Structure 1
């Protein structure tokens, strides 16, 4: 991790994973000018979060500590931090997983004059407890504050500290329109050294306030309020901004927001995925506009400041035979960008970085990785062939013949705003099953999926477990109609939300599926975290019928006609083992025979040796199911 002045490098060691994004580590500081390590380090051996400031740095261990220089003594900024109760500068479980997707909640102003941080108060949040079996005589108990649907959620406060006088700490107060009830802080964006934009969200997550605050010398006062979602890219006036939001036709497009009025500057029946970079005269963004195909991603440049020209695609014609799913990472002044080409199944992708010059022409500087070695290796193997449609993708076995009948495996996720079908290079378990065992692997994006307009995405709002499940079943019938699917050898599998959809589809009692595999599935939405669940289902008290009708356990009796493999880690902090335990209990109550595998002390990802074991287990299960007569 390079310091802002490029003089020092923070080297990380003793990495210990906590949740999806968080971890603890030790840090050594290397002086680049002297070519030696800084001693003494004066950093704790266990640090929750480390960040360089534009000058100086901070670290976190439930409290925030500030060092003005690498050799300076650390000054404690906060003093009330306590495990599972108060966290400063690092998010609690639900904010890490569902809001920030990060292990830090610290934001420096551009010159490090101010440091903004969040205080997370979990004292009223119910805790989930699970056993960590380890190797000791007695298991340990892991306790995690985890707000479930309808329960008390985390309370947050935003503070700003003056780094020239660390005792000067000012709270940035939420606006009255959200502070009257439970609320969520979405993002913090420094506009200038003395202007900060904060996005506040009501608990229902149907009302977002962008509040801009100015420092008046003693406090942060409200400057302007706008009601739009995140994220924000501020214009040169440091008050107006650009952001991606739904247009009147229900497609995500870039809007210019000034004085509370949002004006779309892109339009069409396609979606802007995200803004990559904003400069004085242009916006660079990634969209799925090209050829009207939502499974593609390309980088575009749109001139601003009075220009009426259409967006220019910068990647559409670069390696069109292999690069139709791209992203870009820009240098600070947007003179250069690294283009990442995620390619298609065959041939494997290449990654051509490119130069953007002032006249919008591009010059490839160098190929950082062309994957030629991988391409040569893959020539020795029979690879499956991909077949795409706007809604589905099929992975067909080598030497596929339409006149034959093949077993079918539905690979599903199905969660809100997800996309399973895309032009990314895939060399995964499905490719192995297709090339080695002659199984067709199919994925389908139905109602509830993303990047095809709000009408499709919002179809499952407040009704999870309905249309996204029904559409997978409908897709199977369409695949059978293609003529090369053996209708007696059809399976479905998924992980997390995909495990939920798998279980709901098997429990629908259609007779279409011979078997299915659910890894870490949700059983009941009341058991899942409040931020995610209430975003799509509302509060249980306001939508009780939908909560009741969306459970896997209520469909347990229908599992008598299918083969079912249920897989879960006992230390899953995300979708708790409780979910699989409830499915198991319901199946036993209905006298259903099924197969299970619990992975001791493994979390949602089933890392380490469990990962390989799980895929071997699932492969054997599918071989029994799909290669034996029904």
Structure 2
């Protein structure tokens, strides 16, 4: 984790099954062969903000690994794989940390932005038996010839490791299997190449492969020839198919794969757990959760025991969440334990409904009367592969607004959203800020045609990418929205990080027109006709305060009157007291916007 001022970084011990420990101290990797043994220093080139061993730098932690660890033990515990990140050429981001001292501090760390140098990553394997033996798992020449990324690392045995490498553009991927050869002390390569012709590989970063029971292969979720995410064997053989998507592989046994998908009823916002038996011809598929508490449970996942004899069914909605332990050996999947103690809903929930082949969701006030007119708030995210309309139960700000302020809160999944095939998701490839923005405006117009929405009281709000879309919508000058609130918004994609931005937009030199046209600042003059609240934390290490500062500068230049709120030393999540404050502040802003005075 980061220290409070983001200057120092620590990593808790990473244990393997043989009671060995690996940890990182001051950017170097150490190994202990037992809890009482002296730590062995594996690397010695670690340097703050330059060379990181065993832990990812900022951009890898945020956009590729979603973890602060970059070490992987082999199954038997003999080998430790670790990544080295060289940020020497990466430019730094700086911002003030105000704290409580007389002079503010300055936070500095490497943060690559589109078109600028990326971290250079290498993968090494340390031998705990022969401690002088550290070998590099070399990136394939076809990928390593240019800028590239280390995507995933998965051990099969102590002598076999699978690695996914990506080119910087992220539409090509090499699935590389390395076998250790004692002769020559090297890793011998076997490969599988994947390419996307319509966009990027995966939903976000490439999915982790799941080892087959015989440890002789892998299963992975990737796009099929029709552009839907399905299970494939590493040889390229398709295991599932259809105009629906596999979400995750949950468990693999000798002849069975358990997975979650939105297959049941082809409802993108639903989730159920399936098992497919591979030994049958053709393979047979069974849904384990489709008919279990169906009125209450339409968004399900599962966590399986070691041999899949039992599983915990995780029901997340539309009713109150429910967790049950079930016997998978029994055809009826008998309930062993559940937690059905909570009952009741705060407000009526109108679940996703198909409209023009796209999905929306509404939270309606209690006692909703369709003959009346209600103010409407669009709750938007709309980033690539996002999903806001689903069957999960939520009890948050939307429920408060509906129940207390009598506001309808709606969300809509337009072009660019996920879990409905690559054609829809990749429609915003290389053109962020276009179709997903247009679709939110169109959705608002469609909602007014339902008869119960007050056309003069429509607002929109979002956080992060949602704040960007909110700002782009308000800056479109559509005349549909009276006001909007943008929390921690992107203003210009040149200011965001390489891995995320270039995945969807490529580098600026390759897509200059859309980099120019996708900025909030270019739409500043259109904000004169709306009420706008801009919110940001001054210590946002993700979407930097620079983004909000540039929006503010552009609005001032155009003499636009707007409201702004900053949160001192708060990051992207605005945690602690700031979290309650921001929702209270936005509620007051919305009350003024919807006032008839």
TM range, smaller chain: over 0.9
2:545 corresponds to: 577
Residues 9-60 of structure 1: per-residue CA shift (max 9 Å, x gap): xxxxx995688xx996xxxxxxxxxxxxxxxxxxxxxx42321111211111
Residues 182-202 of structure 1: per-residue CA shift (max 9 Å, x gap): 000000010111000100000
Bigger shift: residues 280-289 or 244-253: 244-253
**Long gaps (5+) in structure 2:** 195-205
Asked whether 1:385 is paired with 2:344, we answer: no
Query: Retained in 2: the 8 A contact 1:411–1:493?
Result: yes
Query: Retained in 1: the 8 A contact 2:483–2:532?
Result: yes
2:309 corresponds to: 335
SS of structure 1 residue aligned to 2:324? coil
Asked whether 1:349 is paired with 2:321, we answer: yes
CA distance in 1, matches of 2:8, 2:385: 28
1:163 corresponds to: 128
Residues 92-143 of structure 1: per-residue CA shift (max 9 Å, x gap): 1000000000110110000101000000111110000000000001100000
2:267 corresponds to: 293
1:222 corresponds to: 188
Give the counterpart of 2:21 among 29, 37, 57. 57
Give the counterpart of 1:273 among 247, 258, 273. 247
CA distance in 2, matches of 1:336, 1:130: 50
Q: How far is 1:308 from its partner?
A: 1.7
1:597 corresponds to: 565
Query: Retained in 1: the 8 A contact 2:491–2:521?
Result: yes
CA distance in 1, matches of 2:395, 2:277: 38
1:406 corresponds to: 374
Asked whether 1:559 is paired with 2:527, we answer: yes
**Long gaps (5+) in structure 1:** 1-13, 25-46
Residues 354-413 of structure 1: per-residue CA shift (max 9 Å, x gap): 1212x755222212x33x2x42xx56xx52332421300011100000100000000000
CA distance in 2, matches of 1:328, 1:145: 39
Q: Where does 1:490-529 land on structure 2 (aligned, <5 Å)?
A: 490-529=458-497
Query: Retained in 2: the 8 A contact 1:211–1:222?
Result: no
Asked whether 1:233 is paired with 2:196, we answer: no
Give the counterpart of 1:101 among 56, 66, 69. 66
CA distance in 1, matches of 2:8, 2:251: 29
Query: Retained in 2: the 8 A contact 1:213–1:220?
Result: no
Structure 1 runs (4+) deviating above 6 angstroms are none
Q: How far is 1:310 from its partner?
A: 3.3
SS of structure 1 residue aligned to 2:510? coil
SS of structure 1 residue aligned to 2:486? strand
Query: Retained in 1: the 8 A contact 2:269–2:352?
Result: no
Residues 582-620 of structure 1: per-residue CA shift (max 9 Å, x gap): 000000000000000010000000011111110100000
Asked whether 1:149 is paired with 2:149, we answer: no
Asked whether 1:364 is paired with 2:330, we answer: no
Is the alpha carbon distance of 1:23 and 1:285 closer, same or farther for their aligned partners in structure 2, counting shifts above 3 Å? farther
Residues 480-526 of structure 1: per-residue CA shift (max 9 Å, x gap): 00000000000000000000000000000000000000000000000
Residues 549-598 of structure 1: per-residue CA shift (max 9 Å, x gap): 00000000000000000000000000000000000000000000000001
CA distance in 1, matches of 2:378, 2:314: 29
Query: Retained in 2: the 8 A contact 1:49–1:90?
Result: no
Query: Retained in 2: the 8 A contact 1:384–1:434?
Result: no
2:83 corresponds to: 118
CA distance in 1, matches of 2:331, 2:39: 47
CA distance in 1, matches of 2:418, 2:58: 25
Is the alpha carbon distance of 1:324 and 1:574 closer, same or farther for their aligned partners in structure 2, counting shifts above 3 Å? same
Q: Where does 1:1-40 land on structure 2 (aligned, <5 Å)?
A: none
2:175 corresponds to: 210
Q: How far is 1:236 from its partner?
A: 4.6
Residues 210-268 of structure 1: per-residue CA shift (max 9 Å, x gap): 1111111253333311013532123355443211111111111111232xxx1212111
Residues 60-107 of structure 1: per-residue CA shift (max 9 Å, x gap): 121111111111111111111111111111111000000000110110
1:417 corresponds to: 385
Query: Retained in 2: the 8 A contact 1:118–1:159?
Result: yes
Give the counterpart of 1:545 among 513, 520, 533. 513
Report the TM-score when normalising by structure 1: 0.90
CA distance in 2, matches of 1:199, 1:309: 28
1:200 corresponds to: 165
Query: Retained in 2: the 8 A contact 1:256–1:264?
Result: yes
1:33 corresponds to: none
Residues 408-464 of structure 1: per-residue CA shift (max 9 Å, x gap): 000000000010111001101011000000000000000000000111000000000
Asked whether 1:245 is paired with 2:225, we answer: no
Q: How far is 1:312 from its partner?
A: 0.7
CA distance in 2, matches of 1:423, 1:252: 20
CA distance in 1, matches of 2:4, 2:500: 23
Q: How far is 1:349 from its partner?
A: 2.1
Tell me how large the CA RMSD over aligned residues is. Answer: 1.7
CA distance in 2, matches of 1:54, 1:558: 60
Give the counterpart of 1:312 among 283, 286, 309. 286
SS of structure 2 residue aligned to 1:167? coil
SS of structure 2 residue aligned to 1:548? helix
2:582 corresponds to: 614
Asked whether 1:256 is paired with 2:227, we answer: no
